[in-house]
Amino acid sequence: MEKNLNNLTLTELYQKLAGSSLIRRALELARDEDLGLAAPATPPGALPNPSAPSGDITSLACIDPHAVATLVLRARTPCTIAGLAAMPLLLEIFAPTSTFDPWCQDGRPVPAGGVLGRLQGPHRQLLALERTMLNLLSRLSGIATRTAQYAAALGPTSRARLYDTRKTTPGLRALEKYAVRCGGGFCHRLGLHDAMLIKDNHLAGVPPEQLADFVQAAAQRARLLRPDLWFVEVEVDSLKQLQRLLPICPGLVDAILLDNMTTAQIALAVETRDARAPSVQLEVSGNVTLDTLDHLSRTGVERISAGSITHHAVWVDIGLDSAEGAVDS
């Protein structure tokens, strides 16, 4: 059920996610919204064509076209780093003749003041790159930092793993799920296309006595439509629903999601699952916080999913410094 996505190293995971072109498209969109659509290259010493997209008009007017700069990426608050894997693509898109020398790796904790790497290249290029780069690293490192806090709260002996959700920033899901892995969490499905999660909206109108037959037929159709389906999961909000589904699960349904249940209900669900279908994994979702994680993990579930590790993550402060001081835009 884990697929190879959660067994990959961070380097392998980023390469797999980047292979879909989603990351490139997101970064090209970021370029176009900052520098203008299809911003043309301006020859050294020349002024931009006023009828064409402008590029970085401030740098074109202020910075000598031959000026070269050396800048340092620095974490200004303690954090877990994520996003450095995207630096080569960022340079290709924003600063093609510049270089980045990493002094840190994704997934590593960094203290306040820690240097992440050094950038060298044409000053105009680095200024065009700066804001998108800092936005991305700050956002992704914020997710990795929050995920690391949640993962640590599970404790080293817990059988439960922390999973993300689809509650991600539109267009940045691949990168934000990568950031979750950098923080020690695990990837749930990437989207609606690679795994099946039957939720309450899909089950609306299905009589309780027909629940098992409905789920069984739907899961069979999904596996025929998508032979490489990652997993099939069904959401339940009562122990009665769980009891109806467990007999059909082995070999067809991989996991059952226990939605917004109390700790006592979850513990009883684990006992029921262990007795009737021990191969089926149980996932907890809803009201997952740092304060509840330890109690939830002690119930015996295998999976705990928390949308807040992405949608409540706070950006960390990452800056770009030169030998003469901080550069900020």
**Residue of 161, 109, 31, 39 whose CA lies nearest to 316:** 109
| Beta strand 196-198 pairing with 79-80 | unpaired
240 is catalytic: no
Question: Cα separation of 297 and 107, whole Å?
Answer: 23
The active-site residue out of 24, 76, 108, 131 is 131
271 is catalytic: no
235 is catalytic: yes
The active-site residue out of 259, 276, 317, 321 is 259
Asked if 1 and 281 touch (Cβ cutoff 8 Å), the reply is yes
16 is catalytic: no
Question: Cα separation of 33 and 220, whole Å?
Answer: 44
The active-site residue out of 34, 164, 233, 235 is 235
Measured over the CA atoms of residue 23, residue 161, residue 7 and residue 183, the dihedral's sign is positive
**Residue of 281, 215, 270, 217 whose CA lies nearest to 239:** 270
Question: Cα separation of 243 and 246, whole Å?
Answer: 6
The active-site residue out of 167, 223, 276, 298 is 167
Exposure pattern of 201-232 as b/e (b: 16+ CB <10 Å)? eebeeeeeeebbebbbebbeeeeeeeeebbbb
Exposure pattern of 272-287 as b/e (b: 16+ CB <10 Å)? ebeeebeebbbbbbee
Question: Cα separation of 291 and 199, whole Å?
Answer: 26
The active-site residue out of 24, 108, 166, 199 is 199
131 is catalytic: yes
> What residues act catalytically?
131, 167, 199, 235, 259
